[in-house]
Amino acid sequence: MTAQQEKAERFRLLHQRPGAFVIPNPWDAGTAIILQRLGFEALATTSAGLAYALGTRDGGLTRDAAIANVKAIADATDLPVSADLENGYVDDPGEAAETLVLAAQAGAVGGSIEDSTGDPANPIYDFSLAVERVAAAVEAVRRLPIPFTLTARAENFLNGREDLDDTLRRLEAYAKAGADVLYAPALPNIEAIRAACKLGKPVNVLAGTRQTHSVAELTEAGVKRISIGSGLSRAALGAFVRGARELKETGTVGFLREAIPYAEIQALMPAPPKQ
């Protein structure tokens, strides 16, 4: 068994054991290493977190940038990595599915495909095309030499479409098309989450968006996987902006009281290889 096959199997089993697990979202190799050292069992990339690090808005990534980030994070740790690949960076089902294959080749053992188009005028793919895209992704990842965990995302609530019935209809269709995990970010309440969890597949919930339920509460509702999306990235950027504003506006450095000590962050990072 290769190292990637072992990671893929470990990731698959996380979705089968009792209870929920937390899958935090690093945006580079350094944050991935920290999360591993803190004891998390798996990681997921974040398109928004990477976009901000690269100086663009969420939705502004290229496929090459996303795949390079997957490789950097997968190479940095021994943990299973699932890739946030947005809509595959293309509309065509077959070409979007190829994005998942590229992520696997970069080291990911899971990844997501979403039904958001990236077009504000028409933000969600028509139902039939959305299902076709998931089916093409399923077909592509089943040909991989690892048990790749495919997550299908229904993006209505992130795009101003407050339609729970359509969201559940899409998730159910994605499950029938062969998706391993279902994910509808920003569901409005715990009742909607419970409804998604009744569709027969493991469900990922984005913590901190519209609801602040604890891991225990989400587990009781039937959730299997809990991610944070860009939350850690935005928390880090929040500290950065507050510190920079203090420095600019008052000339003081009180923000350093909240900074991780130099020795502690040094200890979290691996030693560089000897020359």
232-256 confidence digits (pLDDT tens): 999 999 999 999 999 999 999 999 9
Domains present along the chain, CATH in parentheses: 3-230 (3.20.20.60)
| pLDDT value of position 132 | 98
Q: Residue 265 and residue 259: Cα distance in Å, rounded?
A: 10
pTM above 0.75, yes or no: yes
Q: Residue 145 and residue 134: Cα distance in Å, rounded?
A: 19
Instruction: Indicate the burial class of 274 (C-beta count within 10 angstroms; 0-12, 13-18, 19 or more).
Output: exposed
Which amino acid, 201?
A: K
pLDDT digits 0-9 by tens, 190-220: 999 999 999 999 999 999 877 678 999 999 9
Instruction: State the average pLDDT over residues 136-163.
Output: 97
Angle at 82 between CA 80 and CA 87, to 5 degrees: 170
| pLDDT value of position 211 | 65
| pLDDT value of position 210 | 73
Residue 115 has which token pair? 């039904």
H helix or E strand, kind and range, residue 178: none
